[in-house]
Amino acid sequence: MAAPSEGRQRRRFGQRLLTDPARLFQHNAWDNVEWSEEQEANARSKVEENSSQLLPQDKQEEYEVNAKRYWDDFYKIHENGFFKDRHWLFTEFPELAPNRNSNQNGNSLLEFSSKEESSNERLGRCENGHCSLESRTGSELKLLENTPEVCTGDLAAQRDGDFPGSAASYRVLEVGCGAGNTVFPILQTNNDPGLFVYCCDFSTTAVDLVQNNAEYDSSRCFAFVHDLCNDQSPFPMPEESLDIVILIFVLSAILPEKMQSIVTRLSRLLKPGGRILLRDYGRYDLAQLRFKKGQCLSENFYVRGDGTRVYFFTQDELDQLFTVAGLEKIQNVVDRRLQVNRGKQMTMYRVWIQCKYHKPAAPRP
């Protein structure tokens, strides 16, 4: 474990650059690694090869219809032991804890390489159908802490001002909360008494894991099951009530043709000036290149062995989704990471995209 002084010296992604190839194995990750034209061409060729044989339409429909079961099964198998708490979020997304000292818990996205998407073990799980991407779709709203399920009439009353977190001054929603590895670090780190965190997931099993966590505090947090792909599935909070919406490796697991309506619907929940924060897979990430023929559903959209699905974005695609929803760009960057297994002398090229978009104070003409 790193000593506290070492932790404070960790830097945000984009600041550890490989300028001397002889130093390749001195660190476990290097940032903003330039790809050669040959490397880019090889990745493109590999993707084209893997995409040459699409799954039949009936199989694709089966994965969509049974999406909830696949994710419930995933969380039943892994429970809360598969994920690591995402303390790097506060370095890259300081909006989640505005009053936090920047040196506190100096974790950065350099930790992301070792805690989230980097290990050979994790890549093996991706290939074999047990990747931890959080995907969401389907099931009605359910209140936790042993409260009854809520009907549409109850939610209408909440929209009139009596809803969970209605007294809060700073409201955050995490979409695709999984076992709570984003939610609980936020609650631990952000001590603002006006903070209220909502978190939802498609998987009932995942939401149960959040509810049963010893740190779940119903006075500061509200977890619920939600079907993002169902436009009629209500949220427990009114429109224009949220300061932050978080999407961490969630949008990529949605059927591509449904992404725009989901982003548009989420944008309506934001207050003027509110932000959507996103971190997700980029085109030609190692996970994409490792898919084989017979796993491709459509262009850049794949199914794993466990039935969960994943899409690989470009910056322009994400920019289009957010701008069509009426949001304005603050950040849209590619994190090209060269990860290193020093023990096995192996290198792995990862590609992620990080975005921040905000709702303008006045509607655009």
Does the residue 124 lie in any domain?
A: no
Q: What does residue 69 show for φ and ψ, rounded to 5 degrees? A: -65, -40
Q: What does residue 239 show for φ and ψ, rounded to 5 degrees? A: -65, 155
Report the pLDDT averaged over residues 225-252.
Answer: 93
Domain range for 86 = 65-97+162-283+302-334+350-358
Give yes or no for residue 297 having a pLDDT over 60.
yes
Give yes or no for residue 155 having a pLDDT over 90.
no
Of 305, 292, 314, residue with least CA distance to 52: 292
Please tell me which residue, 280 or 33, carries the higher pLDDT value: 280
Does the residue 117 lie in any domain?
A: no
Q: Give the range among 173-177, 230-234, 253-257 with minimum mean pLDDT.
A: 230-234
Q: 336: buried, middle or exposed (CB in 10 Å: 19+, 13-18, 0-12)?
A: buried
pLDDT value, residue 160: 52
State the Rg of the chain over Cα.
20
Does the residue 48 lie in any domain?
A: no
Q: Provide the 10 A C-beta neighbour count for residue 303.
A: 21
Does the residue 276 lie in any domain?
A: yes
Give residue-wise pLDDT tens across range 34-58. Answer: 777 888 898 899 999 888 888 888 8
Tokens 């470009």 belong to 314
pLDDT value, residue 113: 36
Domain count, the chain: 1
pLDDT value, residue 20: 53
**Contact call for residues 114 and 96 (beta carbons, < 8 A):** no
Does the residue 248 lie in any domain?
A: yes
Does the residue 154 lie in any domain?
A: no
Give yes or no for residue 292 having a pLDDT over 70.
yes
Task: CATH number of the domain at 188, please.
Answer: 3.40.50.150
Does the residue 15 lie in any domain?
A: no
Give yes or no for residue 259 having a pLDDT over 50.
yes
Q: Give the range among 100-109, 271-280, 318-327 with minimum mean pLDDT.
A: 100-109
Does the residue 71 lie in any domain?
A: yes
Beta bridge pairs of residue 338: 30, 349
Sheet holding 296-298, edge to edge: 296-298, 301-303, 309-311
CA–CA dist 356, 340 (Å, integer) = 28
Of 2, 305, 252, residue with least CA distance to 125: 305
pLDDT value, residue 87: 66
Beta strand 328-341 pairing with 346-358 = antiparallel
Beta bridge pairs of residue 346: 341
